[in-house]
Structure 1
């Protein structure tokens, strides 16, 4: 017998759920997720998505898939929302893998869709299909799927978005057969899903007690501070403890104002040098950073003898491999807010200030330091620097201070080809800010096609190419592996690259500067240009 209050199961009460096409269901989901931009380089298997393309969406075309993902990475970081990317099947995903790896290291939320051949011909190994579509991007996506049925595609997109946005954030991939988009399915409603985590109170309390008892604490801040919008809280916590603040090795964001009285400098990715620079501190707090990122083999302790290491990080995997110390796993902003809620610690003396740098002077062939110093003097303090010039990074850190949150982006991966398209993505996301792409000549050639996208979109980006005619970072790194001074290092010279021709050929204005006396004027002209402009600067 039916229950007294239950409706009988009749044809009049069991109405079928409303149906729509997979395409419309996915587009409605994206609208609910506040996504109205698709980054792509279309192939034949992606075309059905764009049938009757809706007027409330915009399509951002990149001329190569790595450029597409780089633009989406910059856009997602700057908007703090997952970017939606549409790639071709196996070959397109393969082209994009370098910047997918960088998005993984940057912890950038990104929903990547990849076309697949129609289900009906998959048994016949058709042209341009992906035989193991879900395996191809691994291990550099958080999740990947090719839905079992066309009807499952919207649910897969929803799940992908939630996974991409959950800390630690990152890219995901959904492989979609070409004939799925027209199929009928039930619509999927967007849900409110938590994307942040809070550290366990007892672990955070242990860190708080350690900080309170410290005599000479040091903070090592990483990219997760800025990613998690925790800049003001971290500044307040550092001021409460009068802690010297260092930037973690290979940090892709700036987590602390570099003109602050407590700012101490940058740590290199070398174990012995990190220990040397942190000597004298009795507690080291790795805040939104690994403890620590190394680039070369090292030996000895990971922290100075007698020092305690504590860590707050949103990534449990990073916490798991920390070699020593106490690690709290959770969102940086929420964790620091909890630490700030503790009673104020005892008063401490200020640490010694960072020694001032001598001014860089002009020379016949400009030093990178002089270029950075001049740029710092003429740019607006809240302009955004997107950097990919590895051999120039030390000079940038010394002479081009970053002063505000969300005004510095680079790659956490070490993989080249991210910076130039990322500058385009950041400029798309922040049209009210001046974006400066600070790129090495070697780095720029990995994704030079992004200049075309900047020109087509009429984005007033200033691209500064530091032209030293070589892969300088490799030449400077060579002695680590036994190369002798003056010894030839094959494959590292870059003669006869004409960046003015490359820029103008893609629709960008361009200026060449070799004379130091002209640099400030050329920079001002470039920074005030209403169109994308490339400034080729010859440096020593």
Structure 2
């Protein structure tokens, strides 16, 4: 007899969802026991790491990934990672186990009150009415995740897997095409705006994806600077290009000052404009016209732009590069930063980042989760490909280590480096076991200062008195890594740092074992 489980396995094969990231619970055993050999199970030791690894896998493959969570406990533990996937616009299919449908009304042990547990972060959350609706729900989740670029959840009671599925209909299309072309007539208002601009600028964001060539062609046609959105999850423009102008400030007064020279600002794949601390006043100076191109409906609908396009950024930029007349402008806008070279004494984050930048291969995938060092990383480590800077756009911690593991699994020939703070690493440290067990050759550079340095700085600037949280310099990241099976090296001096980097970098693309560098750094003021 053909079962719901059989039908779902066929769906997973059809959409190449054959790698299952999971931390199993009892309600998932009927699905997983006797898993077919062509389906791969990847164990994570915490659900945040499970979804984080799936997120990295999806980024690396540019396609939806599959995660499996256990009822309320698993889904609850994974909510931060699900929120990060939504903000980073990463497509995920998330199956969530549930107790046996036949006695859910009695709220048995491990029955989950799952409706709304992940909030509004899933692009779809489905509770199939019948067991026979599960295969269609999984197929629809795949399409919803790919279309909306976010996590789609399907809750499956444990007895559904054994239910019969003979002669049933899968309520979802086999193929779903998403044409991305744009008509020249529709672009006419934007062409006119850009052609008439005296001092245009572009703001690039994570929504550009890997389609850099079209945006580069447009920027060179306009002869204008290209800024990176603030707090973005991915670089949107080559940061070694002479027209790259740096990262936009995250506060309105500084943003207005940066954009003051420009009469037209075109945001591509980025919201208008992401901020952090609230500062009163408008986002842009009076008289500056803002246009937006995004394929994210939420961004399009909330952005205070004068002209907005809900369309493929790559398709729009490609046509604009042909339709907009050449400005004849030239020049370089690369911003210089005054970071002094190593002068002896304890290592600073800037010392580590400078030495790292000088050795990174061009095609490196660099995952960042070191909030206090992020400005220095932007200044010292330019993203030269679309994988050259990846971060958690949501801002919650726990992304860096598991995302690096998943991305390297998806692209085993690409060098992968995660630069994380020790405070950040503690939120996803379980991923190191998965890296070691599955022989994932990523490099984890942990900037260990034994404190939440970014929070300390915020408390000082707030001026409300001493922060109540202590340092945690007793934590030994190297020992934690080794306890999870991941090799680790302690770095305390400049010679330690350069020696470790010189040893590991030549094998970064081919190594089959992970390595964590536990780098002791001082807090820069």
**What TM-score, normalized to structure 2?**
0.95
Partner of 2:366: 385
1:340 aligns to 2:336 (yes or no): no
| TM-aligned CA deviation for residue 355 of structure 1 | 3.1
2:428 maps to: 447
Distance 2:71 2:178 in 1: 29
The one of 341, 349, 357 equivalent to 1:376 is 357
Q: Tell me the equivalent position of 2:279.
A: 298
Give the counterpart of 1:53 among 35, 38, 47: 35
In structure 1, the partner of 2:155 is 175
* Cα shift at 1:345: 3.3
**Distance (Å, rounded) in 1 between the aligned partners of 2:444 and 2:223:** 38
Task: Report the CA distance between 1:524 and its aligned residue.
Answer: 2.4
Contact 1:82 1:164 in 2 (8 A): yes
In structure 1, the residue corresponding to 2:445 is in which secondary structure? Answer: strand
Spell out the pairing of 1:425-444 with structure 2 (5 A cutoff).
425-444=406-425
Q: Which residue of the other structure, out of 500, 524, 527, is the alignment partner of 2:478?
A: 500
Q: Distance in 1 between matches of 2:190 and 2:106?
A: 59
Residues 344-390 of structure 1, C-alpha deviations (whole Å, 9 max, x = no match): 33322435443364553243111111111100112212111111111
Map of 1:3 onto structure 2: none
Task: Spell out the pairing of 1:34-433 with structure 2 (5 A cutoff).
Answer: 34-131=16-113, 133-166=114-147, 168-185=148-165, 186=168, 188=170, 191-195=174-178, 197=180, 204-226=187-209, 229-350=210-331, 352-355=333-336, 357-433=338-414
Question: For residues 237-273 of structure 1, what are the alpha-carbon distances to aligned partners after superposition, in whole Å with 9 as ceiling and x for unaligned?
Answer: 1111111011001011011111111011011211111
**3-state SS, counterpart of residue 420 of structure 2:** strand
CA–CA distance in structure 2, aligned partners of residues 275 and 371 of structure 1: 32
1: CA distance between counterparts of 2:324 and 2:230?
31
1:465 CA drift (Å)? 0.5
Q: CA RMSD in A?
A: 1.7
CA distance in 1, matches of 2:503, 2:333: 39
User: 2:238 touches 2:383 (CA, 8 Å); kept in 1?
Assistant: yes
Kept after mapping to 2: 8 A contact 1:215/1:348: no
1:512 aligns with 2:490: yes
Change (3 A) 1:108 1:492: farther
In 2: Cα distance, 1:53 partner to 1:522 partner: 41
Segments of 4+ moved more than 6 angstroms? none
CA distance in 2, matches of 1:53, 1:187: 24
Measured after TM superposition, the shift of residue 470 of structure 1 is: 0.8
Cα deviation 1:146-168 (Å, max 9, x = unaligned): 101001100111111101100x3
Within 2, Cα distance between the matches of 1:33 and 1:340?
A: 34
1:517, distance to aligned residue in structure 2 (A): 2.3
Shift of 1:198: 5.0
Larger displacement relative to structure 2 (299-308 or 425-434): 299-308
Q: Distance in 1 between matches of 2:337 and 2:156?
A: 56
Judge which range, 466-475 or 330-339, deviates more. Answer: 330-339
Larger Rg: 1
Matched-pair contact (CA < 8 Å) for 2:194–2:324: no
> 1:112-135: per-residue Cα shift (whole Å, max 9, x none)?
01001111111111111123x232
Rounded to whole Å, the distance in 2 between the matches of 1:357 and 1:198 is 44
C-alpha contact (below 8 Å) 1:196/1:331 kept by paired residues: no
Number of corresponding residues: 515
Please name the residue that 2:468 is paired with: 490
Give the Cα–Cα distance (whole angstroms) in 2 for the partners of residues 201 and 472 of structure 1. 50
TM-score for both structures, normalised by structure 1: 0.92
2:162 match: secondary structure: coil
Gaps of 5+ in 2: none
> How many angstroms apart in 1 are the aligned matches of 2:500 and 2:488?
10
**C-alpha distance in 2, partners of 1:442/1:181?**
40
Q: CA deviation at 1:323?
A: 2.2
How far apart, in 2, do the equivalents of 1:150 and 1:200 lie? 44
